[in-house]
Structure 1
Amino acid sequence: SFDCDMERLVEAGDHSILIGRVRDFEHNSAQPLGYCRGAYVAPGLSQDALAATQPGTDVGAILENGGRILFVETTDGFELPRGRGLGSAGDGNSLRGLLAAKAIEAQLGFLFAVWDDAGPVSRTHVYYRGTFDVPASSDRGIRLIEIDAIEGLKIADPAIRSMLTRYIRECSVDAFGVYVGNDVEGEVRPLARPSASTVNTGAHG
């Protein structure tokens, strides 16, 4: 919230535009409220609603802190934190359960990608952008990787690799979209210009 003094009043047709000079501001950890295509959208509520539609949905997150992304190192390489459903801290199979087990304080933000597997056995994947507080220890298989070093990591899932490539590109211009499709093809819908869509021939553009 912003505390402003009125700087200028501009008459524009049947509207008056108030331009304020910010004197003070404050913030909290609550999710923001957005307005898109005639409806108000709360990203936090959309997380629960979307992830709850299918209990077996693969729900993960790209979590950033100071230009570093949080990965889980396994015998097969590096993975983003993910689980079956958004879940709760007490559900060890869910995303929230995984983060709680590894003592990671994470704040999930906007949706980044939703896709279904293109093969005969299809599963839905939902990934969010977010932030995290650096854990006190990295003894739990947690690795913090600089964004510039991600392309050299061993990441088994090609759809995840493609999604991270898009994340790196969109970070560089500070303009993010939401990918919707399958693991072969889909489209990225820019958040800033919801009426414009970019069709891609490969997963995540």
Structure 2
Amino acid sequence: MLTEQIRKLEAQPLTLDVTPDGGGKPVKTVLDGGALLNLIVAFTPRPNDLPAALDELSRGNPERFAQARAAGSVQKEGLFAHGLTNSIACAEWAPGYTEADVLAAGRKEYPAWPDSVLAQAPQLPFQYPVCGIWDVADRAEIQRVPTAGAVPALVVSGTFDVKTGASWAKGVAAGLSRSTSVLVPGIGHWVVPQSPCAQQVLASFFARPTAPDTSCVAGLKPAPFTIIPK
């Protein structure tokens, strides 16, 4: 279903006037294959709604994705630090891979997707032209050296995080000999703001860095996926 929708929207993008959830003037929203992919990656605050959103889209109702796209275009001032983001991405990520590398990796994993979608790294579209202007020092090599140490550390990740996958936490924790690793079920990116349990674990870590209380995690279960009545 996902491949079909990405191919369809990339060939024939949808243009809609969408009123953001918080109200205000309608926003002209373009939904193409690349936008859909980025919205899926960014959908992590409500990952349980994603299957329903895709099902609705396949039935000709793009409302959930269009609303998410519109919301992203009316971010409040100061909510997103574009300068900081580009300074990090252009110094630490982009120099480590060429544009050809990105396309080749995409073709390997998703051979049925259009090159126009695969050529842009998710969440970092058109990053190479941006970095050509932003012009910061290349720090890719040094940033790829694993961190090692004995300072107490807390590694928190969510099972539904599609930006910084939970599997990465194992690599991070491996070099931190006094680390505590916590995997929170059913949560996407931004784990602590969304999970009261993760907040408790963090507070416990501040109180006892070498022995935080992680007991609340054992009782957690992912919320059920949103079901669409047939």
TM-score (norm 1): 0.28
TM-score, structure 2 as length reference = 0.26
Please state which structure has a larger fraction of its residues in strand: 1
